[in-house]
């Protein structure tokens, strides 16, 4: 891939509504696949989306991605030091720990889509408080029901004491955008994560009529816990030595076979 979406947005002020639609469609298809595997990307931003001259996009940089297992206790929380601040969901702002749902990635996609529409980041906060201020300037003060579910007491108090803000109509914020695109964007950028669409639901939105086919959008099986057993295994020095030795043998097939047959210790300095 020759470029990334950040460069595409920066270098092109003439992206068409068709570009906007096709780009968002690809992002949601990729996100649906990731989420059906129970993986949360956690760092979606234009620089982490590769692009080529054919307008094909690919999600990259899974360095902060995490797997969520269905049978995990509901009290599991992960550090919120994820996602570049500008694309960070509100439930991750002002709290050092927060329970995650796939909605954190949906919010990031909404921010990216809004940036496509205007050519500028939607919420370029200078710090966490400024970030929350920018969000509420556009979306309005969240209802008390949503505020009450925020785990961090300081963030909860800050939003509760905030002056009452009314939401800005998206048609006013994005005057030249397709009304169907804005209707979808409202549901991607819902302040409360439970009010955001899933990737699958978003793909079924009328905005993608004629482009999306719900029955053929990609999905996969959830990742098994067994694939992460190595993270739970306690290794001794001898275990580590054995694993390194086995890795070296992978590059010497004949000696590996001899080792697996239980022969005498193979010497690399003096092979037989």
Q: Structural domain boundaries of the chain?
A: 3-216, 234-271
Q: Which CATH class is domain 3-216?
A: mainly alpha
Q: How far apart are the C-alpha atoms of 243 and 86, rounded to whole Å?
A: 42
User: With contact defined as beta carbons under 8 Å apart, do 139 and 187 qualify?
Assistant: no
DSSP class of 58: E
Tallying the residues shown for the chain, one arrives at 272
Residue with tokens 């995650």: 100
Per-position DSSP letters for 31-49, written without gaps between them: HHHHHHTTEE-----GGGE
Residue 268 confidence (pLDDT): 46
Residue 133: what pLDDT?
Answer: 94
State the catalytic residues. 43
Q: Cα angle vertex 101, ends 96, 104, to 5°?
A: 70
Residues of the chain with pLDDT under 70: 70-83, 94-99, 263-272
pLDDT of residue 198: 97
Backbone region of residue 42 per phi and psi (left: phi > 0; alpha: psi in -120 to 50; beta: other values): left
First to last CA, the chain: 47
pLDDT at 14: 82
* pLDDT of amino acid 5: 97
Separation of CA 222 from chain center: 16
pLDDT at residue 272 in the model: 47
Look at residue 225 in the predicted model and tell me its pLDDT. Answer: 81
CA distances from 90 to 65, 133, 161, 173 (A): 18, 10, 17, 19
């Amino acid at each position: 891939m020759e470029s990334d979406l950040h460069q595409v947005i920066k270098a092109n002020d003439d992206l068409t509504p068709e570009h906007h639609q096709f780009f968002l469609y690809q992002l949601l298809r990729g996100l649906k696949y990731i989420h059906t595997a129970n993986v949360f990307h956690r760092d979606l931003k234009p620089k982490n989306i590769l692009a080529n001259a054919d307008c094909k996009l690919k999600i990259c940089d899974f360095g902060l991605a995490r797997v969520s297992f269905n049978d995990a206790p509901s009290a599991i929380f992960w550090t919120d030091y994820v996602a570049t601040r500008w694309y960070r969901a509100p439930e991750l702002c002002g709290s050092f720990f927060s329970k995650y749902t796939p909605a954190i990635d949906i919010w990031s996609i909404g921010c990216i889509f809004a940036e496509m529409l205007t050519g500028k980041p939607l919420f370029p906060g200078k710090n966490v408080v400024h970030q929350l201020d920018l969000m509420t300037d556009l979306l309005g003060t969240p209802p008390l029901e949503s505020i009450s579910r925020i785990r961090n007491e300081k963030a909860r108090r800050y939003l509760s004491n905030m002056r009452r803000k009314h939401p800005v109509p998206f048609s006013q914020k994005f005057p030249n955008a397709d009304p169907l695109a804005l209707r979808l964007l409202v549901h991607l950028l819902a302040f409360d994560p439970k009010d955001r669409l899933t990737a699958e639901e978003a793909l079924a939105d009328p905005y993608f009529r004629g482009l999306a086919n719900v029955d053929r959008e990609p999905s996969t099986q959830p990742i098994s816990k067994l694939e992460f057993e190595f993270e739970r295994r306690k290794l001794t020095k001898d275990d580590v030595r054995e694993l390194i030795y086995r890795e070296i043998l992978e590059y010497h097939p004949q000696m590996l076979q001899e080792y697996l047959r239980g022969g005498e210790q193979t010497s690399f300095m003096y092979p037989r």
